[in-house]
Chain A
Amino acid sequence: MTWPASCPFNMYNKVVLIGNLTRDPDLRYTPSGIPVARFAVAVNRIQKKNADNEDGGGQDVDFINIVAWRRLAEICGEFLKKGRPVAIEGRLQISSFNGRDGQKRTMTEVVADNMQMLGKRPDGGAEAREAAPAEQGEEDIPF
């Protein structure tokens, strides 16, 4: 298959993560009123039994920053809590900005376009509820 580099469709960026929230989501609003929620998910690495000699004493968990916008941000802010297991679907985004010291910095985060809570509900109710970012009325939230 040939796929010319000039073709505008030569891109794909999809991330799927399952892990636990390291903190409660921080829900804020942009000056124009758009909700944005930020949190991080701890994702354990797969442990291989005979890894120790090559691993170089590396870490065994990755903390991945997540950002959600609009309705999904509000849902995350309302229902996600530190420690709860969650599945995140989105894309990897790298943004650069100038830090307070004037130095150029980059920030890497996963922009969520789908979120699903995993495990039991805190009140012991049903399993796994999904929240889609689509425009929904308050009544439509499956909780």
Chain B
Amino acid sequence: MANLNRIILVGEIATAPESRVTVGGLPVAKFKLNVERPFGSGGADVIDIVAWRKLAEDSASLLKKGGVVLVEGRIQNRSFDDQSGQRRWVTEVVAKDIRLMEKRSAMAGKAESKAPEAEEVIEDNDLASELPF
């Protein structure tokens, strides 16, 4: 049986993308997306988004906090050991495509709340999520 794992989200960027490069040299960007719940249910879901490679580079340069984007990808669960040695699970959406839902100029005009954008090397356990797509 073929399996399928697909998610489409439209929401507001809650935290500007944080971009890094893995030890293997792959660009990766992470940000949080605020997705309002349907009418009547109230509240919103803040969903972690991960992008790799070109998509990561583009996210880091184009996406600003407060901007509205469409994210298409898959849901992923992964575990890692935190500083205290405890095993923790995270659920995130690995983006396959990200589209701006507003003009580039509008996105560029958003408040500059640049995240640290350095050639930082991320921990090995983050590599667990490194999947090609």
Q: Which residues of A contact B (CB under 8 A)?
A: 1-5, 8, 10-20, 43-46, 48, 51, 54-59, 62-64, 85, 87, 91-94, 108, 110, 118-119
- The contact of B101 among A1, A19, A55, by CB within 8 Å, is A1
Proximity bits, B39-68, A CB within 8 Å = 1, else 0: 000001111000000000000000000111
- The contact of B131 among A45, A85, A93, A119, by CB within 8 Å, is A45
Which residues of B are found within 8 Å of A8, using beta-carbon distances? 36
With A13-B35, A85-B1, A108-B91 as known contacts, state yes or no: A51 contacts B132, CB within 8 Å.
Answer: yes
Alpha-carbon distance between A58 and B130 when the two chains are bound, in angstroms: 7
Q: In the bound complex, do residue A43 and residue B128 qualify as a contact, i.e. CB atoms below 8 Å apart?
A: no
Q: In the bound complex, do residue A118 and residue B1 qualify as a contact, i.e. CB atoms below 8 Å apart?
A: yes
Proximity bits, B2-35, A CB within 8 Å = 1, else 0: 1111111111100000000000101000000001
Q: In the bound complex, do residue A5 and residue B8 qualify as a contact, i.e. CB atoms below 8 Å apart?
A: no
With A5-B102, A10-B11, A93-B45 as known contacts, state yes or no: A57 contacts B5, CB within 8 Å.
Answer: no
User: Min CB distance, A94 to chain B, in Å?
Assistant: 5
- The contact of A62 among B67, B76, B101, by CB within 8 Å, is B76
Interface contact tally, CB-CB below 8 A: 130
Alpha-carbon distance between A48 and B130 when the two chains are bound, in angstroms: 12
Q: Which residues of B contact A (CB under 8 A)?
A: 1-12, 24, 26, 35-38, 44-47, 66-68, 70, 74-78, 91, 93, 101-103, 106, 124, 127-133
With A59-B78, A92-B47, A93-B45 as known contacts, state yes or no: A43 contacts B35, CB within 8 Å.
Answer: no
Q: In the bound complex, do residue B4 and residue A94 qualify as a contact, i.e. CB atoms below 8 Å apart?
A: no
User: Min CB distance, B110 to chain A, in Å?
Assistant: 9
User: Min CB distance, A129 to chain B, in Å?
Assistant: 16
User: Min CB distance, B81 to chain A, in Å?
Assistant: 15
With A2-B103, A92-B75, A108-B91 as known contacts, state yes or no: A58 contacts B9, CB within 8 Å.
Answer: no
The 5 closest A-B pairs by CB, nearest first: A56-B127, A108-B91, A12-B10, A18-B4, A11-B36
- The contact of A14 among B7, B36, B76, B101, by CB within 8 Å, is B7
Q: A15-B6, A54-B24, A94-B45 are in contact. List 4 more A-B contacts (CB 8 A).
A: A11-B35, A13-B35, A43-B4, A54-B130
Alpha-carbon distance between A138 and B70 when the two chains are bound, in angstroms: 40
With A11-B35, A54-B24 as known contacts, state yes or no: A63 contacts B129, CB within 8 Å.
Answer: no
Alpha-carbon distance between A20 and B4 when the two chains are bound, in angstroms: 11
Alpha-carbon distance between A87 and B127 when the two chains are bound, in angstroms: 29
Q: In the bound complex, do residue B101 and residue A13 qualify as a contact, i.e. CB atoms below 8 Å apart?
A: no
